[in-house]
Structure formats: structure tokens, C-alpha cells
Chain A
Amino acid sequence: METWKKWTLAAAAVLVVAGGTRAAGWWGADKSKDKNTLNYALVTEIQTMDLSKQVDQYSSTIAGNTGANLLRMDADGKPVPDLAKSVDVSEDGKTYIAHLRSGLKWSDGSSLTAKDFVYSWQRIVDPKTASQYAYLASGVQNADDITAGKKPVSDLGVSADGDTITFKLDNPMPQFKSLLTFTNFMPQKQSFVEKQGSKYGTTAEKQIYSGPYKLEGWNGTNNKFKTVKNDNYWDAKNVKTKTVNWQVVKKPETAVELYKKGEIDRAGIYNSPEIYKANKNNKDVTKVPQAASTYLEYNQTGKNKFLANEKIRQALNMATNRAEATKQASGGIFDTATGLVSNNLTKAANGQDLATFVNPGYEYDKDKASQLFAEGLKEVGETKMDVTLLGDADTPITKNYIDYLKQAWESNLKGISVTEKFVPFKQRLQDQQSQNFDIVLNNWTGDYPDGSTFYDLFKSPTAGNNDGQFKNQAYIDAITKADGSDANDPVARSNDFKTAEAALKDQANINPLGSWNAYYLVRPNVKNVVMNSTGLPIDLTHAYRTDK
């Protein structure tokens, strides 16, 4: 036999043996059967474990499972006691007093005190920390002035006395209890943070943990690590899982494949309509509504005279079949939006879903739209209108929406010509924030389960995130009441939101399109996993694997 033939045979033999042993399970047992461990995937690497500086949901997923706050969201989305025994609210809604459990400990065995909370709140608003999430503390006394460098951090309205922590607010904040579940406000130990200096939170060892698990094996850049049970957590007896293995899987298709092989216990299938359609009939599919919506913003600065005209905006809104657009664009991943606020964010005072309660009744009416459009064009003294629709180049659903709208508007409205413009996410943000657009397709993700996370967007024509820079007085009045005089009256507040939503529709300031959902393949034998619509995306505190 010739040499090359021998070698080829040998190579083939190696492959066959390798494949055979793998198939026979010599390379590791089926991971979805091991009762001591759970296996999950993140879409990107951990960016930092510095709690004050985390901004992405994957870093905060690890933080939320390795750290604890005063409260924690339960399976129904209600904040329940975690490190705090209880949290009292004053009559006027401007003071919150948290009582800590006794004997709390950090993962290194040192005691966890009320001061660790105060330090964490001070650290996030400190301009020296330069946290992107400092704005979340806005509303706590002096927080904004401290971030702007006008007052020292010691002036912050958060103080410790023994086992109690007192929060003083400028105005009642109905969402404040959800802030007390946030990973960015989890306790941090001053002496530890200062000892680590600029290395704080850059590896698993450069952080200590207050929660159900502690992070191990993360060197700052690697994409496989684990969280193991923290015996010093106050509720450790109810943490049933010893180890959770995490790996970074960037491609959704790969995650689905790993899920099917039993190597991870959850895989997202909502990244594109294609991957959703390919997997939506799998029996393990679970829907998790997201507090996020997609809507169009109209540039109302006057830079575009067409869009400054209310009738033209009304016509565009009425020429939009949002149910059909959403179905076509997302392939069934999104629900149709009924207003600015997303579905399933929170409940109104009467127990209805807030989005249902405030629904102002956006309608699709081709004839009325075309009539309004003609009137609008006459008012601005033109016979045709060229307009540019701006959106992200990197998300397939955005692209589908814009394609649909161009086609629908051009066939419903005589004289309109729509140009599509797709740019990278970062540029879209920049263009939108500098009013460099006609119409932009924007997405907004709520920070906490309360209407204000959406309705605060348009409180002022220039500040915040009012990219179209419109001024709708009825809307401003309603939200000012909701955030002020009605803040402690849930019924009045729900009605304020309803008024605001109706005001947006009346002036056609925005065009709501879709309300987001996440869909996952979820391992049925893993119980007690909490998946939230806002805040911590997946909470494994009490998760465990059963036999089946």
C-alpha cells in the first residue's frame, strides 16, 4: 500500500473513532439530566461586574443572580422582601424606610450593613463614577445636583441608622419599590471597592457577592464561567441548585442547537422572524412579554413643514394598518401596539393591563387618511410630499416595518413619496437625538414596571427623549399631575395616563406600531425560574431541576 493511502486511511479511522466515542457519550453526559447544575447562555460577554457601571442586560443578569437588593421581584412581578425584612412608605409617599434582616453577610463572610446600601447609592450618582445609569436615582433628594457636580455626595437623601435605611424623595415616586430591586442599586462594600480601586469588578475575584450565588471563573474576558451557591446568603437553605454554568453564545441559531442537544436550558428565538418561525411550534416555547414598544417619531421642530402639520400626521397615522404591519414585520413576535405604553408593563388601578386601560383607539381608515392628507397638503401649499423614514440597519424587524410603511403609505396617500434610510444603531441614535430626521422608527424599553417609564419621555419639548420636540400641553398637564399631585392616588394617576395617551393621539405626535415579546425555548424540567419584563431578565434564585 502506498504511503498516502495509509495516511488517508489513518485519518479516516481517527474521525470514525472520534465520532463513535462522542456518539456513545464518552465526551460528557447529557447535561440536561444533572440535578445539581443548570446551564444558561448569555448573548454577549459580561462587560463589567462593577454594579454602578453596568448598563447591559447580560452583565446585570449575572449581577442579579449573584447579588441581592432590599427587594426582589417575584414570579408575579411584585417586589417582595429580600435583604430587607420590610420597607415602609410614609403617608406622603416621599419617605421610604427599609429594615434590614439581621445577621446579613457578604460572600467573604464579612457583615453586610445598611452603610453598604448608602455607599452604593452615593457611588452611582457621584460624577466621578460616571455611571450611565445615574439618572435612575433622579428623584431622590439632591441626586441630580450631585450628578451635575453642584453638591457633595454626602447630601444625597439616603441615610443609614443601625439596621434601617431611609430614602428621602423630592416627589412621591410610585415606582420606587421597583428601584429597590435593581441590580445597579444593590449594596456595595466601600472598603472592598476602594481596596480594588480601578480593578473593581473586572474579574470574579474583584467583587464580593450578596446574593444567592457567587461568580467563579470569570477572568474579565472569557466566555465560560459559573455561578455557585453562596452559603452566606440569608435564604441559602432555599437555594437548591449548586452550580449554574454560563456560556456566551452570540448566534441565536447556535443557542437553539445547543438547547436541542441539552447543553443549555434556555434559548431565545425572537431575534428574527425566521428563527421564530422555524421554532415556534416547539412544545418548549415560552412567551415573556417585554416592557418595550416600537413607534414612529415625527420631527415637529418645524424643520419639516409637512410633519409640522397636524392633518398630515393624522393622515399618516390613519394610513397605518398597525396590526398588519406588525404581523408582517415581526412574523408574530410582536403584538400590535395600542398606544405609547407597551402591553404587560403594569396594571392600571382597576386591575386591567395599563395598555388596555389607556387605549385611545388608534384606527386604520384609508379613506379618511387620504382626505386628511389632501387637506393637509393644501394647508402647507404643496401638491406632493417627499419624506425620509429612518431606521436601524442592523435589526431585521425594523427593516420589515419600514418596507411595509413605505408601500402602505404610497398606495394609501396620493402625492407622498417615501425614501427609506437605514443606518447603524449608533448613528440612528445620534441622528434622532440631534433632530436630524423626518420620521424615525424608535424603540423604547421601560426601566421599571410603571407608566412613568414611558410617559416621562415627552414631558418637555427639549429635555429627555422627546426627539420630535413636540409640545402637547394637554399631555404635559396630565403627566405633571401623574408625577405630582396624583402620585399617591392610583386611580387618578391611571386616568392621567389615559388623558395623556389620548392627547398624543389627538395631535398625532407619534405613531405606535408594536409591543415587544420575547420567546424562548425553556427546559421543562427546570422549575421556579423567574423571567421578568423589566429589570432582571432571568432570576435563578429558587430554580432547580426535577427528574423529568
Chain B
Amino acid sequence: MTKYILKRLIILLFTLWIVITLTFFLMQIMPGTPFNNPHLSAQAIAQMNETYGLDKPLWQQYLTYLVNALHGDLGTSFQYQNQSVSMLIGQRLPISAQLGLQALVVGLVVGLWLGSVSARHQNSKLDGTLGVFSTLGIAMPSFIIAIALLYLFGYEWQLFPVSGWGDSFSETVLPTLALAAAPAAVTARFVRSEMIESLHSDYIELARAKGLSDKELVNHHAYRNSLIPVLTLIGPMAANLLTGSVLVENIFSIPGIGQQFVSSIPTKDFPVIMGTTIVYAAMLMFMILVTDVLTAVVDPRVRLQ
């Protein structure tokens, strides 16, 4: 197991290097200069480029960046003057993490519950209705759900704040729900089909024959075996949450890493674009690794190689 994890970590580093290299050179194709002031003359821009080392040959800039990144130095933002990229990300990451975690928990809890309700009422009207909702949850991107929630709960009924973060828990409700829709839907569908299969398996029949109530059957036996596939879903779901949060954070004005990422692109803030891309890539790969390991731990039939 240790060997496997080590191997995966090395692959992870290698992938990161590819991500850094690709992003670095792709960014050079982007037009314009990072100095966002139309009042600057050509001479002044040349001087700024020199100060920030942007006049050096590309390979030199690339090597400098790689060496610094290896030392954990992601540079200083061009737009947020004096702010180091690590600090910018460090302050925003917990906000995005909280949002993601809340959404994941809400999504899983709601999904597990809906899934089991559907399974136990298989082919009923209720099952059909829930099926429609879970299809919608999967098919609709989070930003559309976000706008719908914003419109209904924020503007029309004024139940929750429409933007912001950090003042009260109520601010987190709408963005969490917007992000939780997809994981809830995915979980519900998986749990439903797994549960239906479990409920028809021999050991459940046996338990039923022994006189266990429906409730005990589901809670003690069927649920556990339906959970394994859900576990494998958490990795990809977390990845979806990360990318989904980029848009949702913008819609709700949440100062998270996603918003930072989006706003750094039009301003051509190289160090921030690089930094956030690296963090995103690292988080995604780490999630996938954790999922693989967890699956192996939970289900002994899975062998890691």
C-alpha cells in the first residue's frame, strides 16, 4: 500500500509539472500586458516589464518560475500589489473549502435519503417524481441552479442574502444548495440502484425471513452495501464541486479561490493564474488518490497496483 501511494505521489508531481509548463506557455498567447492602466506610455510599460522581469527571455522566466515554485514561492500578484500569491490563495482557500465541504455534506445526506426513499418505493409516483428531480440535478449546471435560487429565495421571497460571505451562516445557504444539487442527484441515483439490487439479494431475503422489520433491514444491512459505490463517487464529486464553485462564487460574490481564478484572467495577473491553476490541479489529483485508497480500504476485493 505504501509503495502504491508513493508511486502515485510521484506521478502526481510529474503531472503537476506538465500542468505548470502548459499553463505557463499558454499564458504567453494571451494578449495584452498585465499592467492594467491605459494611461501608461510605451516607455512606462517597458520599465514595468523590466522591473517584474517580464523582459527576460521566455525560457529564463520559465526556469525562474519552476525553481521558485519548488521552493514554495509562487510569486507576487501584479494586480494585488505586494500580496504574495501564497497569501492570496491561503486566505481564500478555506472559504472555498468550507463551501465545498458544506455542499458535499448536504449533497450526500440528501442524496442518501432520497435514494433510499426512491428504492423503497420503487416504481411508485414518488419514485418517478424524485427521478425527474435527480435527472434535473445532474443535467442542470450549478450556475443555472444558482441563478434560479438567487431569483426565488433572494429577490422574490427575500429569505436569504443575495451575496457576500463571512457575516452570517445565512449567506452560505444559497451557494451551498446550488452546489449541492449535483452531488445530491448523483448520489440519489446511485443509492437507488444499489439499494434495489441489495434489497433483492439473498442475504436480505434471509434476513426478512428471519423476521426483521423493513426499517431494520434497510438501516442495518442494505444501506452498508449500497455505500461502497457512493464512496468511489466522492472523488469525482469533489472535483465537480471545485470547478462548479468557480462560477457559483462569482454569482454570490464569495471571496473564494474560484473567484480569484476568474478575475485574474482578464487582468493577466500571471502569478495568480499560475498559482491558482497549480492549487486546483493538485487538489483534484489528491482527491482522486484519496478516493482510490479509500475504496481499497473499504472493499478488500479491490487490489491496488
Contact = CB atoms under 8 A, between A and B. Distances in A.
Interface of A: 3-4, 7, 15, 18-19, 22-23, 27, 44-45, 47-48, 50, 53-56, 127, 130, 132-135, 147-148, 198-202, 219-224, 247-251, 254, 257-258, 261, 394, 423-427, 429-431, 433, 443-445, 447, 463-465
Given A135-B39, A447-B39, A426 B31 contact: yes
Nearest to B251: A251
Contacts of A430: 31-33
B40 interface: yes
A135 B44 contact: yes
Contact of B255 (A23, A56, A221, A426): A221
Contact of A220 (B42, B88, B155): B88
B211 interface: no
Contact of A4 (B51, B126, B268): B126
Contacts of A463: 41, 43
Interface string B80-95: 1111100110011000
B202 interface: no
Contacts of B84: 198
B82 A199 contact: yes
A253 to B, nearest CB: 9
Contacts of A394: 266
Given A130-B51, A135-B44, A426-B36, A223 B82 contact: no
Nearest to A444: B38
Contacts of B80: 45, 47-48, 220-221
Interface string B154-174: 110111101111111010000
B141 to A, nearest CB: 18
A19 B84 CA distance: 42
A55 B33 contact: no
Contact of B32 (A22, A44, A48, A429): A429
A306 B94 CA distance: 57
B253 interface: yes
30 contacts: A3-B117, A45-B255, A48-B83, A50-B81, A50-B82, A54-B81, A55-B36, A56-B36, A132-B35, A132-B40, A135-B40, A201-B81, A202-B82, A202-B83, A221-B260, A223-B255, A224-B167, A247-B164, A248-B253, A248-B255, A250-B250, A250-B253, A257-B162, A394-B266, A425-B266, A426-B268, A427-B31, A430-B31, A433-B42, A463-B41
Contacts of B91: 219-222
B37 A55 contact: yes
A132 B87 contact: no
A254 B162 contact: yes
A377 B113 CA distance: 76
Contacts of A45: 80, 255
A132 B42 contact: no
B83 A261 contact: no
Contact of B88 (A148, A221, A431): A221
B48 interface: yes
A27 B158 contact: no
Given A23-B158, A127-B47, A257-B155, A424 B40 contact: no
B121 to A, nearest CB: 8
Nearest to A23: B158
Contacts of B154: 257
Nearest to A149: B47
A47 to B, nearest CB: 5
Centre residue among A19, A147, A223 by max chain B CB count within 10 A: A223
Contacts, number: 144
A465 B39 contact: yes
Contacts of B170: 18, 27
B4 interface: no
Nearest to A261: B158
Interface string B47-79: 110011000000000000000000000001001
Contact of A19 (B47, B79, B159): B159
A470 B166 CA distance: 53
Nearest to B257: A221
Contacts of A48: 80-83
B11 to A, nearest CB: 32
Given A135-B44, A463-B41, 18 more contacts: A4-B117, A18-B170, A22-B158, A48-B82, A53-B82, A56-B36, A130-B52, A200-B82, A220-B91, A223-B165, A223-B255, A248-B255, A258-B163, A394-B266, A423-B31, A425-B266, A430-B31, A430-B32
A287 to B, nearest CB: 24
Nearest to B250: A250
A15 B253 contact: no
Contacts of A19: 157, 159
Contacts of A202: 82-83, 87
Contacts of A247: 164
A464 B41 CA distance: 5
Given A247-B164, A424-B32, A429-B32, A132 B253 contact: no
A227 to B, nearest CB: 17
Interface string B238-268: 0000000000001101010000100100111
A249 B158 contact: no
A241 B154 CA distance: 30
A107 B283 CA distance: 42
A200 B84 CA distance: 12
B259 to A, nearest CB: 8
Interface string B81-113: 111100110011000000000000000000001
A441 to B, nearest CB: 13
Interface string B162-191: 111111101000000000000000000000
Given A127-B51, A221-B92, A429 B33 contact: yes
Interface in B119-149: 126
B92 A426 contact: no
Given A4-B117, A132-B35, A430-B32, A465 B158 contact: no
Contacts of A251: 163, 251, 253
A88 B305 CA distance: 82
B255 A222 contact: yes
